[in-house]
């Protein structure tokens, strides 16, 4: 095809136009900037491989052009695979993981509804905050950072609070815990409650089966195992969730995140035409499609196994250099984001700063309930491999040698 023509400025014509009546503000925008290459081994965003960056730099299309709709269909299929679901109501929210969290809660909860939130880290706290803002009666079960809930605790709370929705975090990236999922969906359904799972930090790195494990709503982010830039968030809703959502009495507070509109935009309803709802992030969808394609080519089980294997290799290495994984129960350790007990006598900020400065590697401190208690290392998607583990162990060893250690 012919190249797009270069725009033509007809400066001579402007001179004759009246000058603006008001002075223009100045700007301090610099003419260029350079982005350094860096190892992103924090809890996310993870590094984006060239294949995905290239996909995202393809030419713009209209958000409802036939090719864009085909790409959206690919994405739907890719999410269904990654989530292990056949839900028709599967799509990507045009925003980060927090937008997906709001999408899940805004659509499934009405003002005055009772909800139950499992809090074992920051994500439960955030879900509670979101539900409170829309007037839900928020009930929490809380356990300490690094631990998780037993199914009988959950059942007691379901029985006591009779919630319409139970929120659980699959991969608690603030504490490094992967939560067991088996049996919980069944319990929720016994108590006529929807089961909502946040799998932002775990999806693709730790097994989860949306359909088989009776999950009603699940979402993830693009910038973790999928290695896609942040800005889109896959989400899926079961038939049971849809029944509840489409028979609610009031409209969700957000038009932008209203599932009835999103369903049509993503071709998940039974209407033949897609109406204009909002302008989706077209090039971000190219990238998301590519990230899902890479996961599909790798194979979900291979990806789960690699993350598990690499995490175990990392955890052994940590013990070898005298560091301690924060989560004692080995089977509860999240394979994507490892929490390490903050080395006694050190300032964790000095360690992360030293490693960033001297090794060009991002690792992170704690978040929410784990602040000051842990270091966090994320190895997600293309970053989950042994050579990177060796690099991090080397960097940590170096930091422990050179950072200030108090005598206490």
Residues 190-229 touching a second copy, rule: CB under 8 A, are 207, 209, 211-212, 221, 223, 229
For the segment 120-139, give every residue that binds a second copy (CB under 8 A): 126, 129-130, 133-134
- Bridge partners (DSSP) of residue 178 are 171
For the segment 68-87, give every residue that binds a second copy (CB under 8 A): 70-71, 74, 77-78, 80-81, 84-86
238 lines the binding site for a second copy (CB under 8 A): no
273 lines the binding site for a second copy (CB under 8 A): no
Among 106, 112, 143, CA closest to 127? 106
Q: How large is the angle between the packed helices 97-108 and 239-246, nearest 10 degrees? A: 60
The residue (of 242 and 262) whose beta carbon lies closer to a second copy is 262
CA atoms of 312 and 335, how far apart (whole Å): 8
Contacts of 209 (CB under 8 A, 6+ apart): 84
Contacts of 254 (CB under 8 A, 6+ apart): 102, 103, 106
CA atoms of 240 and 267, how far apart (whole Å): 19
Closest approach of Cβ 322 to a second copy, in Å? Answer: 26
3-state secondary structure 122-172: HHHHHHHHHHHHCCCEEEEEECCCCCCCCHHHHHHHHHHHCCCEEEEECEE
36 lines the binding site for a second copy (CB under 8 A): yes
408 lines the binding site for a second copy (CB under 8 A): no
The residue (of 283 and 405) whose beta carbon lies closer to a second copy is 283
For the segment 39-58, give every residue that binds a second copy (CB under 8 A): 39-40, 42, 44-48, 53-54, 56-58
Output the CA–CA distances (angstroms, integers) from residue 393 to 41, 313, 355, 377, in the order listed.
12, 11, 11, 11
The residue (of 63 and 170) whose beta carbon lies closer to a second copy is 63
Taking CB under 8 A as the rule, which mask of x and - marks residues 280-319 in contact with a second copy? xxxxx-x--x--xx--xx--xxx-xxx-xx----------
The residue (of 191 and 237) whose beta carbon lies closer to a second copy is 237
The residue (of 68 and 147) whose beta carbon lies closer to a second copy is 68
Among 181, 175, 212, CA closest to 327? 175
* Binder of a second copy out of 124, 163, 171, 252 (CB under 8 A): 252
Helix (H, G, I), strand (E, B) or coil at 393: helix
Taking CB under 8 A as the rule, which mask of x and - marks residues 152-191 in contact with a second copy? ----------------------------------------
Q: Please give the sequence-ordered ranges of beta strands (E in DSSP) within 231-332, or none if there are none.
A: 233-237
Output the CA–CA distances (angstroms, integers) from residue 362 to 11, 37, 313, 316, in the order listed.
48, 11, 19, 21
30 lines the binding site for a second copy (CB under 8 A): yes
Q: Give me the DSSP letters along 328-339.
A: -SGGGB-SSEEE
Closest approach of Cβ 117 to a second copy, in Å? Answer: 14
1 lines the binding site for a second copy (CB under 8 A): yes
Taking CB under 8 A as the rule, which mask of x and - marks residues 358-397 in contact with a second copy? --x-x----x--------------xxxxxxx---------
For the segment 85-124, give every residue that binds a second copy (CB under 8 A): 85-86, 94-99, 101-102
């Amino acid at each position: 095809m012919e190249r797009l023509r270069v725009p033509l400025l007809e400066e001579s014509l402007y001179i004759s136009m009246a000058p603006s009546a008001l002075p223009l503000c100045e700007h301090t925008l610099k003419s260029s900037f350079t982005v350094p290459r860096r190892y992103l081994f924090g809890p996310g965003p993870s590094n984006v491989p060239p294949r995905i960056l290239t996909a995202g730099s393809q030419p713009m299309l209209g958000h409802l052009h036939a090719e864009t709709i085909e790409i959206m269909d690919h994405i739907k299929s890719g999410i269904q695979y990654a989530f292990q679901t056949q839900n028709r109501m599967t799509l990507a929210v045009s925003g980060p993981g927090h937008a997906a969290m709001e999408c899940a809660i805004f659509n499934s909860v009405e003002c005055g509804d009772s909800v139950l939130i499992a809090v074992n880290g920051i994500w439960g706290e955030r879900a509670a905050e979101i539900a409170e803002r829309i007037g839900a009666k928020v009930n929490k079960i809380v356990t300490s950072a690094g631990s998780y809930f037993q199914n009988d605790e959950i059942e007691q709370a379901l029985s006591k609070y009779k919630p319409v929705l139970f929120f659980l975090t699959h991969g608690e990236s603030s504490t490094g815990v992967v939560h067991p999922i088996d049996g919980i969906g069944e319990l929720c359904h016994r108590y006529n409650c929807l089961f909502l799972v946040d799998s932002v930090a775990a999806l693709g790195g730790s097994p989860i089966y949306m359909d088989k494990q009776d999950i009603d709503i699940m979402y993830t982010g693009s910038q973790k195992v999928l290695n896609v830039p942040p800005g889109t968030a896959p989400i899926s809703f079961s038939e049971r969730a849809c029944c509840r959502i489409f028979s609610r009495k009031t409209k969700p507070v957000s038009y932008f995140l209203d599932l009835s509109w999103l369903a049509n935009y993503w071709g998940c309803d039974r209407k033949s035409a897609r109406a204009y709802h909002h302008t989706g992030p077209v090039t971000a969808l190219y990238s998301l499609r590519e990230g899902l394609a890479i996961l599909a080519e790798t194979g979900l089980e291979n990806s789960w196994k690699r993350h598990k294997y690499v995490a175990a290799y990392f955890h052994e290495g940590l013990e070898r250099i005298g560091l301690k994984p924060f989560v004692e129960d080995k089977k509860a350790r999240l394979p994507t984001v490892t929490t390490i007990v903050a080395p006694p006598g050190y300032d964790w900020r000095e360690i992360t700063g030293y490693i960033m400065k001297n090794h060009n590697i991002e690792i992170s401190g704690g978040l929410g309930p784990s602040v000051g208690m842990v270091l966090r290392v994320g190895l997600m998607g293309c970053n989950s491999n042994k050579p990177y583990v060796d690099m991090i162990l080397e960097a940590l060893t170096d930091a422990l040698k050179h950072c200030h250690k108090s005598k206490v």
